[in-house]
Homo-oligomer: A and B are copies of this chain.
Amino acid sequence: MSTPHPHRLGGLERLADEVVDVRFKGLPPDAAGTTAGALAAQKRNLFTGGFTTPVLAMSAERTEHNLALMEEYTRRHGLAFAPHGKTSMAPQLFDAQLRHGAWGITLAVPHQVRVARAFGVPRVFLANELVDPAALRWLAAELDADPGFTFACYADSVRGAALMDEALRAAGARRPVDVVVELGAGPGARTGARGAEECAAVADAVAEADHLRLIGVAGYEGEVPGADRDRVAAWLRALTDLAAAFDRDGRFAHLAPDETIMVTAGGSAWFDAVAEAFAGLGGLSRPVLKLLRSGAYVSHDDGLYRERTPFNRVPEEGGLRSAFTLWAQVVSRPEPGQAFLNAGRRDAAYDQHLPRPHLVRPASGGPVRPAEGLEVAKLSDQHAWLDVAEGVGLEVGDWVGMGMSHPCTIFDKWEMVPLVTEDGTVTDLIRTFF
C-alpha cells in the first residue's frame, strides 16, 4: 500500500480544456474564449501579457522546490505522505504531490473527497468523522464501484460509529469503510476522543459495526493545548502508545498479515516531532503505515508557516520557500501617507496576518524595487489600505507585490492561479475547487 502512485491523475486534460472566461479573475480579458491549456502555451508574461490586477501568482520554481523537499524529507524519515489537500484543492497539485511520492491525499470534508475522486485520486484520508447520510451514500457507491479506491476516515465517538454504520447499511454498502480512532490532542482541544479509555470504547463500537473496519489511530498534534516541543512529543507518545495498546488487545487481528496498521498525525508546524515519534514505532503485529498529513508546504507562506515551519528547528534538512505573490495596483494616493490597492478581503488571506508588501513595479516602467516603507494597515472587501512612509515614491498605477500568511485562505480566493517562472512567464494555470 505504500508504493508511490506512478501515473498522472485522470481528468487533468479536462482542466486544460477549460474555457478562460469571466469565472476567473486576473486572467487577460483578451484571452477570453481560449482554453486554459492554450493560454498557458502562449507563455505570456504576467506583467506585460494582458493580465489584470489584482492577480495571484504562484512561483513555479518555488512550488517545485517545496514538492521535492517534502518528498525527500518524508522518504528520509520513513514516512508515508498524504498531504492535506484542503489547502490547495487543486487536482494539478494533487497530481504533482502523488508524482512526488505521496501515498495519497488527505481531505477535510466529503465534498473535497468528491473533487479528488473526480480526478481519480486513488487513496484518500478524510481527517474527520463522517456522519452525513447523503455523503455516506455517495462514498459507499464510490467504494463499491472501484475496488482500487483506498479510503479511511476518523471515528471519535460511539454515536458517530453507530450513525456511520446505520447510514452505510441503509445505502446498501458492500465494502466496509476503514476507520481510525481519533485521539484528541488534550482537554479543550479540537475533535478526538479524550484519552485511551474513550478511544477503546470507540474502537469497540467500530468492531461491532458491520460496515466499519478499524485500521489504526489518528490525531492532530497542531491542536495540543499550549503546544510546545515537550507537550507535542508527549501527545505523540500517547498516540503511538494507543496504537500499541490496540494491537496488544487484538483490535487489528482482522487485518491480513501483510495489511498495514495506520498511525497518522502531522500538520505543518510539528512534522519534525511527528517524524521523531513515529521513528520509534514498530514491533506491532502488522507493518505500520506511518502517515504524515502536512499540506501547507506546497505553497508555504510569508507569515504563519514562515514562523512555524519545523525547518526553522532543523535548517540542516532544508527550507521551504513562499510561492505566492499577490499583485495589486495602486488606484488612489489621496494623502502623502496613504495609498490604496485594488485587492482586499476578496483576494488576500487575512485570518492570520495582513499581507506584506515585498515589491513595487512602477507604472513608469522603471526597475522593480523592494517595497520599502509600505505596510498594509487594513483590508476592506476590495481595497488594501497602505501606509506609506515619508519620501516613498509610490504612484497611482504602480503594481505592488505582496506576500501573505496562511496558504489555506489564499488558495480559496482564486479559482485559476497563474503558475509563473522567475522571469515572469506564465507556464500553467492552476485550477482550484472550493
Tell me the bound Cα distance from A59 to B394 in angstroms. 46
Chain B CB within 8 A of A286 CB: no
Tell me whether A191 and B29 are in contact (CB under 8 A): no
> Closest approach, in angstroms, between the C-beta of A209 and any C-beta of chain B?
14
Among B26, B132, B342, which residue has its beta carbon within 8 angstroms of that of A53? Answer: B132
Within 8 A of B (CB), among A390-434: 395-397, 408-409, 412-413, 415, 433-434
Q: Which residues of the partner chain B approach A340 to less than 8 Å between Cβ atoms? A: 190-191
Tell me whether B110 and A52 are in contact (CB under 8 A): yes
* Interface-facing stretch out of A143-151, A257-265, A377-385: A377-385
Chain B CB within 8 A of A22 CB: yes
Tell me whether B29 and A138 are in contact (CB under 8 A): yes
Q: Quick one: given A26-B111, A30-B138, A118-B21, are A129 and B412 in contact (CB under 8 Å)?
A: no
The interface size bin for chain A is 35 or more
* Interface-facing stretch out of A94-102, A231-239, A305-313, A327-335: A327-335
Tell me the bound Cα distance from A395 to B157 in angstroms. 10
Chain B CB within 8 A of A281 CB: no
Chain B CB within 8 A of A159 CB: yes
Tell me the bound Cα distance from A212 to B80 in angstroms. 61
Chain B CB within 8 A of A70 CB: no
Among B135, B156, B159, B335, which residue has its beta carbon within 8 angstroms of that of A395? Answer: B159
> Nearest B residue to A25 by beta-carbon distance?
B111
Q: Which residues of the partner chain B approach A338 to less than 8 Å between Cβ atoms? A: 188
Tell me whether A128 and B331 are in contact (CB under 8 A): yes
> Nearest B residue to A129 by beta-carbon distance?
B331
* Interface-facing stretch out of A240-248, A269-277, A345-353, A354-362: A345-353
Q: Which residues of the partner chain B approach A104 to less than 8 Å between Cβ atoms? A: none
Which among A54, A163, A338, A397 has the greatest number of chain B C-beta atoms within 10 A?
A: A397
Within 8 A of B (CB), among A3-49: 21-23, 25-26, 28-30
Chain B CB within 8 A of A193 CB: yes
Q: Which residues of the partner chain B approach A350 to less than 8 Å between Cβ atoms? A: 351
